[in-house]
Structure 1
């Protein structure tokens, strides 16, 4: 029986549970972990015998029996579900039979330790309840003499201290459970470095592509807008110079003046789309309000970000909103757009929703450019645009 190849299991992260309900959930998870540790101990004992037998008759080949590999991966998957359900530990992992066995070897004593601490807490709580019941309810005193007040106080303080230490022990066991799972099942530091290097290489290439796309867009805006108006302006001025009639020359100059105003307006539009001055001076909120004022469809903005985010994060968030609102006005037929920007000291979340026809293509030029811009900040970018709408664009930008 040959050793099976390593497989890959990848899951997104989740938040840990908190509050009193979270404490009870964690305790239940540790109790279940103590029970599974017993089953895993039996598996490891059987695995040691089966593996020794396999090695003895494998003619020098290093093998892991199929039943051992299947059992180890099954129990490891059960442990991962327990960690996700009770301890909020759910992150990307990659493991095969050998990693699963190594995880169970380290995990069994941790699970048994958690069970021992839970038993001590249960025993101490029962003893304390029995003592309090005997002192204050049934009158079952030692030698028939009620305890002095200082004995009661001393006993209560010792009991609280011991309970605190036991609870801290449970907290430590939970942390140790998570650490063992990350160390044994997660990618190695070298694999993490390699993944990060590959990600940075891709991001760098995407940033270069995004810059090139932005330059092409600026060139297109200048060519189709400002340049055409300047050509028309020059032609009008030339015709006015050649006109022999004063009234005709005056009319042509008037048209030239109007054309110059339109060219100036187009130039301001291009400049504003390249980079808004309000973003540097007044911040992201003021820049987004300018986007809402200039939009062809009504835009409602909800902004809840304490302080000012880093400049690069503000810029990325601004362009995500600006491009999404522009796309909604041009292509979706939306009647309204809702923009929500929320954040903390570590993360900024942007959500743009319109009531248009949907069907937006995430691989399209504008949205793909936004995805690259967000990726350059180590953020996440998603587009949900079913046919018939609504279109929801979200971006999460870390502030670190």
Structure 2
């Protein structure tokens, strides 16, 4: 409910700003139309005027794109050519003005709906029935207007994507380039993982096994029972350490608990293994989205695991907060710490996470100002 109210307030602010820009765009379109009519008999003058008009239309369309991104969550809307920008402005002016009308209806609905609470301070009320009916009508107007806010936000989204979004050919080219880049990034991640596994096995487990073999050999050659028992005790400890390090390597490759018990259990295991306190939250109802594929769960797990590991190693933090929640058809993963900040998004670990997320058509961002806090965020498609 809180998310719906926050989204509605953001949409209302976007529509209010859109109504103001629609008035500016209406004046621009009227002025452009008058100018072009005056220059109708002069092709050279019309051609000379077209450049500044198109540039102004493009600037207004880019301004609308920033508004849509900031308030309505519409990404990727950008003007491709001055002609498309002009068509978009001409199409959205009525929609923007309608948004202003809807917001006025919201205010009117609030005023009429709450009139019984303050009306007696302003006027003398003789007919209570009329006041009650007027209040009910105001509440109905408010309900319809609030629904209109969400409907207009969706209409702005569709209009911008249709008129300002890339053409089908441009979208295919962008998609091909994105797939090629994400495939290369995934291959780099795979190679980095292989090198890290090889390094962990060589520097850790292999050295433990060599020491274990040497201890057993010395125990076999020893003729002192006490010395033999001591060497065997050391060998037992080395074998235990080798098994622990081997489990660590296997866990970093792919935790079995993720397949056996699911993402929530795997994340709780990450929290338990972390030397820093980790707080886990799952949306408003405390539950993860149910339609998460195995691949999405795996990427979400590695985002949390790698981010927590980076915090422990580099952030000088005292606590970590992990939030997972569904946002429409996406699942948002956010890892925040209270460390010193300054994390490099191009670093090996974070760059690898960005490649994993991009391979699923997700979005990845790192916000780490100097002095902290650091926030790692990934948005993954649920399906």
Tell me if both proteins adopt one fold, taking TM over 0.5 as the criterion. yes
CA apart distance, 1:221: 1.0
Equivalent-residue separation in structure 2 for 1:200 and 1:375 (angstroms): 9
1:383 matched residue in structure 2: 366
Where does residue 8 of structure 1 map in the other structure?
Answer: none
Find the aligned partners of 1:379 and 1:316 in 2 and give their Cα distance.
Answer: 10
* Match for residue 356 of structure 2 among 373, 381, 387: 373
Contact 2:61 2:79 in 1 (8 A): no
What displacement does 1:311 show?
0.9
Are 1:50 and 2:34 matched, yes or no? no
Q: Give me the whole-angstrom Cα distance separating, in 2, the residues matched to 1:38 and 1:374.
A: 44
Once residues 367 and 13 of structure 2 are traced to their aligned partners in structure 1, the CA distance between those partners, rounded to angstroms, is 37
Q: Is the 8 A contact 1:30 1:174 kept in 2?
A: no
What TM-score, normalized by structure 1, do the two folds share? 0.70
Q: Answer 1 or 2: which has greater helix percent.
A: 2
Task: Give the match for residue 120 of structure 2.
Answer: none
Which residue pairs with 1:223 in the alignment?
A: 202
Q: CA deviation at 1:229?
A: 0.3
8 A Cα contact 1:339 1:352, kept in partner: yes
Q: Map 1:298-309; keep pairs closer than 5 Å.
A: 298-304=277-283, 305-307=288-290, 309=292
The residue number in structure 2 matching 1:277 is 256
1:289-300 correspondence runs (5 A): 289-300=268-279
Alignment of 1:159-178 (within 5 A): none
- Cα shift at 1:260: 1.1
Cα offset for 1:234?
Answer: 0.8
Give the SS at the match of 1:395: strand
SS at match of 1:92: coil
Compare CA radii of gyration and give the structure with the larger one: 1
Corresponding residue for residue 236 of structure 2? 257
Partner of 1:397: 380
Answer yes or no: is 1:326 the counterpart of 2:309: yes
Post-superposition offset of 1:176: 6.5
Question: How far apart, in 2, do the equivalents of 1:331 and 1:85 lie?
Answer: 32
Query: How far does the alpha carbon of each residue in 1:33-52 deviate from its partner, in whole angstroms, 9 at most, with x for none?
Result: 47854651442242255365
Deviates more, 1:209-218 or 1:172-181: 172-181
Q: Which residue of 2 aligns with 1:343?
A: 326
Alpha-carbon shift at residue 346 of structure 1 (Å): 1.8
Secondary structure of 1:366's partner? Answer: helix
- Structure 1: how far apart are the matches of 2:150 and 2:88? 20
* Per-residue deviation, 1:364: 1.5
Segments of structure 1 that go 5 or more residues without pairing to the other structure are 1-14, 123-159
CA RMSD of aligned residues (A): 4.2
1:233 to 202, 212, 216: 212
Q: Which residue of 2 aligns with 1:69?
A: 54
1:237 Cα shift? 1.3
Tell me if the contact between 1:341 and 1:350 (Cα under 8 Å) persists in the aligned partners.
Answer: yes
Q: What is the TM-score when the length of structure 2 is the normalising length?
A: 0.73
The 2-side partners of 1:100 and 1:271 are apart by 54
For 2:41 and 2:360, locate their aligned partners in 1 and report how far apart those are by CA, in whole Å. 51
Cα contact 2:12–2:149 (8 A) shared by 1: no
Task: Give matches, 1:205-216, under 5 Å.
Answer: 205-216=184-195
Match of 2:83 among 86, 95, 98: 98
